[in-house]
Every structure is written in C-alpha cells, then in structure tokens.
Structure 1
Amino acid sequence: MTVSPSSFISFVSEIFPLLQIYAGSFFTIPLIRWFLVQKRNGEIERRNRSREQYAQALERPDVSLRTKAVKSSFM
C-alpha cells in the first residue's frame, strides 16, 4: 500500500524555497534596519556634540570673540 501526498503537502514542498526566503527576511530586515538606525544615531550624536561645543564657545567667548561682539554692538 502506498500513500500519495495530499495536494497541500505537494504545494508546500514546491514553494518551500520561497517560504525559507520569507522566514529569513524576518531576521534580515530588522538586522539591516538596526545597522541603519545605529548609523543615523551616530550622525545625530556627532551633530549634537558639535552644537554643544559651539554653544559653550558662545557662553565663554575668548578675547577675540569678545572684541568682535563689542565692536558689532556699537555699530
């Protein structure tokens, strides 16, 4: 007695490579997104550090910046 596979099992066995790709995308897509988010966050951090340094430079100006500020306020 031989048992023939049902049509559903035959269908699944035919599309098995596509199902493997679909399952792999559950890991691949979030991993790629994580790397992109890390890169973007690094760029934002660098920009924020730069802005903070400029803000500190304006709060505590050196002599040349103070003289420029004083000269421009009289004009």
Structure 2
Amino acid sequence: GGLNYQIEHHLFPSMPSPHLRKAQPIVARFCQEHNIGYLETGLINSYRQALKSLHDAGAPLRAAAASPGPQG
C-alpha cells in the first residue's frame, strides 16, 4: 500500500508510512503556492494507474512475442 502517497514518500523516504498522510496537505499546499503540478488520487485509482503504466510499458514486448520471427 501507500501508492497514494508516492510524492510524499519520494520527498521524505525515511518518514514512517503512517506519517505520510500528515505530510500530504503540506506538500499539496507547497505545490499549489509554487505552481507545481500535484496529482492527488485515492488508493484504488493509484493502483489502477500503476498497473496501467506497467501494462503500457510491456506492450512492445508482448507485440514482439506475438509476431512471427524471421524465417530463415
């Protein structure tokens, strides 16, 4: 778990996971004040985004495996 606090985790890697939730509004406010993009999402959607990214990254490998190899 914890994909919904990835930004905070990367900013504060040694922060205990339960405290990332407390850091989130501080980080979001900082980003807003400095015009930095900040995507906030829920736990389920964060897993959906991660799985879609992995699926998209693997698409070329799946396509190569499905195509016939050179006939020689």
Structure with max Cα Rg: 1
Q: Same fold (TM over 0.5)?
A: no
Q: Which has the higher contact order (CA 8 A, sep 6+)?
A: 2
More helix by share: 1
